[in-house]
Amino acid sequence: MQKVPIVVLDFGSQYTQLIARRLREVGVYCEIYPYFEDLENIKSKEPQGIIFSGGPASVYDPDAPRVDKRIYDLNIPILGICYGMQLIATDFGGEVIRALEHEYGKAKLYIDKPSPLFEGTKDGQVVWMSHSDKVVKLPQGFERIAHTDNSPYAAIADEKRKIYALQFHPEVSHTEEGTKILENFARRICNVTSKWDMGHFAKEQIEKIRKEVGEDKVLCALSGGVDSSVVTALLYEAIGDRLIPVFVDNGLLRAGEREKVEHVFKNMLQVPLVVIDGKEQFMEALKGVTDPEEKRKRIGHTFIELFEKEARKHKDVKYLAQGTLYPDVIESVSVKGPSETIKSHHNVGGLPEWMKFELIEPLRELFKDEVRKLGLELGLPKEMVYRHPFPGPGLAIRILGEVTPESLELVRKADTILLEEIKAHGLYEKLWQSFAVLLNVKSVGVMGDKRTYENTVALRIVESSDGMTATFAHIPHHILEHISNRIINEVDGINRVVYDITSKPPGTIEWE
């Protein structure tokens, strides 16, 4: 059995996964268990340190989550965060009160006593608080090591027993030196020396998948996007030809997209990719449709029809692999324990009953940037791993009005020019997305002394960290001017280019 240097016990905080993520960032391997995990099982992992996460409960709630107190006798260093701190304080005879006001937001942390926990971090560092209850009397053997203006006991420690507790959340990005504090706990206090990286993650997942899948077959839909590409590469590495990766060319892709996907998977990685040419079916389904939701629905149905037809050809499929990421997991790890209440967004809702295979979601603990690292580890090219998101319904939702071969051609050409220029000016990596939208607006123009009456393209270029909110990018005017000139000169049928200056909210990123 694999040793787990740091065990994180989850008390239901929405940030529990972030603790794991921060530790992974600094190369410390950890696993998350529900707070009621059997002590023998925890011991069998031979942990060098244990972290108690935060959580929504109050230690005064009648059914407040508690730990098996024998955990304190294991002589393993412990770090309690927020609820974890209050629990430690009460377990050791300190006093916690229900504060009338919720303290929420940034605060400055002043270090009162040097501690290995704060080694290399500065006095007055910004930390992030989110709590109601607070410790008012220290338990025996503990002393205060830091405070903020509102929390006299922002950090406490029993250096002898190596038990530490923080009122603030070191795992959230608003806590300036939070990662360093977690790293200090692992490396300086728990003496974890082992180094862990995405290569290890890949190896572990591959072994896990092999064990789980056995001799069965796994189906997956490859879109060419980062997540499904990484899942495909990972699964292929694990089970080889027992993976059936299906790529549906819906005719709504950007220029050269199908060729790129085929090149990477068939030629470079030697994956036996099944490519379905569905262009005609999708065009047929979209004929005469202008309503955005109707477009999405029809595209979804057509995709499922084609995917199902392919699946029927393979007899012994037992699993469906999906690129669900941690942010897609709706409910965070809950106090009842991860396996009971985590639900995930997955797109099998529309699949017929017989196709509701068991799910394999190897990326469900990861964040997007970690998936990218994993992709590189698996040999995917950098361009593929760092590409902008592209929606499932493709260019169809970037054409306002009916999707026709002509409108597709126009938006595709404009999009290609836009992307070329964004890359040429070194902007691609700084942006969340940049694409062209073909409007159903015609306007009068003049070109070479001649009147024109042609189409309009809007440029949608946004910055975002997760796609949930976004701001339009402040692209220098001379670059916009150059893009506009190129589109109008090179794309027959477009005589006007406008720039979308709407942020999200209130706008969405895609126009439909």
Q: Are 154 and 146 contacting, i.e. CB atoms less than 8 angstroms apart?
A: yes
DSSP letter string, 133-172: EEEEEPPTT-EEEEE-SS-TTSEEEETTTTEEEESS-TTS
What is the distance between the alpha carbons of residues 199 and 176, in angstroms, rounded to a whole number?
Answer: 28
In the complex, minimum distance from the CB of residue 336 to ligand XMP, in angstroms, rounded to a whole number = 30
Residue 386: partners with Cβ closer than 8 Å, 6 or more residues away: 226, 372, 429
Residue 433 or 456: the one with the smaller Cβ distance to ligand XMP is 433
Please tell me whether residue 99 adopts helix, strand or coil conformation: strand
228: contact with ligand XMP by CB under 6 A: no
E strand map for 323-432:
358-360
Q: What are phi and psi of 129, to 5 degrees?
A: -110, 145
What is the distance between the alpha carbons of residues 189 and 125, in angstroms, rounded to a whole number?
Answer: 21
In the complex, minimum distance from the CB of residue 224 to ligand XMP, in angstroms, rounded to a whole number = 11
324: contact with ligand XMP by CB under 6 A: no
Q: What single letter denotes the amino acid at residue 81?
A: I
Residue 46 or 291: the one with the smaller Cβ distance to ligand XMP is 291
Q: Are 111 and 123 contacting, i.e. CB atoms less than 8 angstroms apart?
A: yes
Pairing verdict, β 155-158 and 163-166: antiparallel
Q: Are 232 and 264 contacting, i.e. CB atoms less than 8 angstroms apart?
A: no
Q: What single letter denotes the amino acid at residue 147?
A: H
Q: Are 479 and 439 contacting, i.e. CB atoms less than 8 angstroms apart?
A: no
Please tell me whether residue 227 adopts helix, strand or coil conformation: helix
What is the distance between the alpha carbons of residues 427 and 408, in angstroms, rounded to a whole number?
Answer: 25
In the complex, minimum distance from the CB of residue 387 to ligand XMP, in angstroms, rounded to a whole number = 12
27, 389, 445, 493: which one contacts ligand XMP (CB under 6 A)?
A: 389
Residue 91 or 500: the one with the smaller Cβ distance to ligand XMP is 500
Please tell me whether residue 2 adopts helix, strand or coil conformation: coil
Using the contact rule CB under 6 A, the part of the chain among 29-37, 147-155, 188-196, 384-392 near ligand XMP is 384-392
Residue 78: partners with Cβ closer than 8 Å, 6 or more residues away: 49, 50, 51, 52, 71, 72, 88, 162, 163, 164
| Torsional sign, CA 338, 343, 347, 349 | positive
Q: What single letter denotes the amino acid at residue 95?
A: E
The order of strands in the sheet holding 317-321 is 274-277, 243-249, 217-221, 317-321, 358-360
302: contact with ligand XMP by CB under 6 A: no
Residue 381 or 389: the one with the smaller Cβ distance to ligand XMP is 389
Compose the 447-486 pattern: x for residues touching ligand XMP by CB under 6 A, - for all others: --------------------x-------------------
445: contact with ligand XMP by CB under 6 A: no
232, 391, 455, 472: which one contacts ligand XMP (CB under 6 A)?
A: 391
Residue 4 or 509: the one with the smaller Cβ distance to ligand XMP is 509
393: contact with ligand XMP by CB under 6 A: yes
Residue 417 or 470: the one with the smaller Cβ distance to ligand XMP is 470
Alpha helices in 154-254 (DSSP H): 178-184, 198-213, 226-239
Residue 257 or 510: the one with the smaller Cβ distance to ligand XMP is 510
Task: Name 78's bridge partners.
Answer: 50, 163
In the complex, minimum distance from the CB of residue 377 to ligand XMP, in angstroms, rounded to a whole number = 24
State the number of binding residues for ligand XMP (CB under 6 A): 10
Q: Which two tokens stand for residue 373?
A: 């690292």
392: contact with ligand XMP by CB under 6 A: yes
Compose the 483-512 pattern: x for residues touching ligand XMP by CB under 6 A, - for all others: ---------------------x---xxx--
292: contact with ligand XMP by CB under 6 A: no
In the complex, minimum distance from the CB of residue 5 to ligand XMP, in angstroms, rounded to a whole number = 36
116: contact with ligand XMP by CB under 6 A: no
Q: Are 11 and 53 contacting, i.e. CB atoms less than 8 angstroms apart?
A: yes
433: contact with ligand XMP by CB under 6 A: yes
The interface with ligand XMP within residues 402-431 (CB under 6 A) comprises none
In the complex, minimum distance from the CB of residue 250 to ligand XMP, in angstroms, rounded to a whole number = 12
Please tell me whether residue 437 adopts helix, strand or coil conformation: strand
224: contact with ligand XMP by CB under 6 A: no
In the complex, minimum distance from the CB of residue 63 to ligand XMP, in angstroms, rounded to a whole number = 38
Residue 341 or 503: the one with the smaller Cβ distance to ligand XMP is 503
In the complex, minimum distance from the CB of residue 388 to ligand XMP, in angstroms, rounded to a whole number = 8
Which residues are tagged catalytic?
82, 169, 171
In the complex, minimum distance from the CB of residue 465 to ligand XMP, in angstroms, rounded to a whole number = 11
Q: At what angle do helices 368-377 and 226-239 cross, to 10 degrees?
A: 40
Residue 159 or 500: the one with the smaller Cβ distance to ligand XMP is 500
Q: What are phi and psi of 507, to 5 degrees?
A: -85, 160
Residue 188 or 368: the one with the smaller Cβ distance to ligand XMP is 368
Residue 312: partners with Cβ closer than 8 Å, 6 or more residues away: none
In the complex, minimum distance from the CB of residue 127 to ligand XMP, in angstroms, rounded to a whole number = 31
State the residues that interact with ligand XMP by CB under 6 A: 389, 391-393, 433, 467, 504, 508-510
